[in-house]
Amino acid sequence: MESIVWPEGARSCVALAFDLDGPTGDAMLDGSLRHNPGHFTLGAYGPYRALRRILEVLASQQVPATFFIPTWVVTQWPRQCREIVEAGHEVAYHGHLHEPFWTLDDHRQREVMACSRKIFADLLGIQAEGFRTPSGDWGKDTAKVLLEFGVTYSSSMRGDDRPYFVNVEDQSASLVEIPARWELDDYASLAYTQAPDFPAGLDRIAPYRQVLENWCAEFDGSHAEGLCLTTLFHPKVSARPGRIALLEGFIAHMKSQHGVWFARGREVAAHWRAHHAGASIDG
């Protein structure tokens, strides 16, 4: 495998990332949320209550992170979202209502991005550079639309365990993709679900010790090969009182290894663009 150059001689890269979705997504988009207060309160728990625990862990461990936030969440919890920026972390695009971009035509995608850009500027005073598609995929025009709105990188796809360039048709510029993986999505192991309820009576979450071991094993493999690891963590899922220790333990494990570069997504993208002209995947 080709050698990857990381800053200051680091062996591998970690770009911690959190999706602060709040009560957005399908139930918001189809209008059913107003008939499901339980769903709303579960989502609202993320920005209202759980986010503070994550910020405290990041501060105590002295590591940066990127928060991908649907901008409707910013309009509802502006103070909490400003605390992210004030703590020195990055805030990046994640739709307005967590829209699946692959279902939107290019006109509608531009409307969502324009709305999001204005909210970030007006309420947080920032111009975002990163984007994570809310649905884990995108439409044929999405990459081009992102470039139009000044996006320099995406963290949406699964095509590698290193950053790579996404060439965009008819565009001289490209996007840097910082691929994430479902193995490091806390929903996969920690999100409780009642359906299907079979076998009856069994919990739908994994043992916490096993979850931490799995996350650490993923890092160990990435670090051994000198790769780039990012996460798909959600405050409303993994920042509850009994689970925040998983994040603390995960970061502590990574920090205990020599030569880990902890960076925000925009820093990873800028470094990759400056030092690697490697494999491209056409957008």
Helix (H, G, I), strand (E, B) or coil at 153: strand
Whether the bond between 134 and the residue before it is cis, its omega within 30 degrees of 0, is no
Q: For residue 55, is it within any domain?
A: yes
Residue closest to 149 by CA, chosen among 157, 137, 141: 141
Q: How far apart are CA 69 and CA 77, in angstroms?
A: 11
Q: What is the CATH number of the domain that holds 168?
A: 3.20.20.370
- Which tokens is 24 given? 């957005």
265 lies in some domain: yes
CA 153 to CA 176: how far, in whole Å? 4
Tally of domains in the chain: 1
Is 1 domain-assigned?
A: no
pLDDT score at 3: 74
- pLDDT tens-place values along the chain, 283 residues long: 567 899 989 999 999 999 999 887 665 566 666 566 666 677 788 999 999 999 999 999 999 999 999 999 999 999 999 999 999 999 999 999 999 899 999 999 999 999 999 999 999 999 999 999 988 888 889 999 999 999 999 999 988 999 999 988 777 788 999 999 889 999 889 987 766 555 566 667 889 999 999 999 999 999 999 999 999 999 999 999 999 999 999 999 999 999 999 999 999 999 999 998 754 555 5
| Contact by Cβ (8 Å): 124, 73 | no
Residue 99, domain member (yes or no): yes
pLDDT of residue 135: 80
Residue-number span of the structural domain to which 202 is assigned: 7-282
In a domain, 181, yes or no: yes
Report the pLDDT value the prediction gives residue 37, as an integer from 0 to 100.
63
pLDDT of the residue at 79? 97
User: Before 23, cis peptide (omega within 30)?
Assistant: no
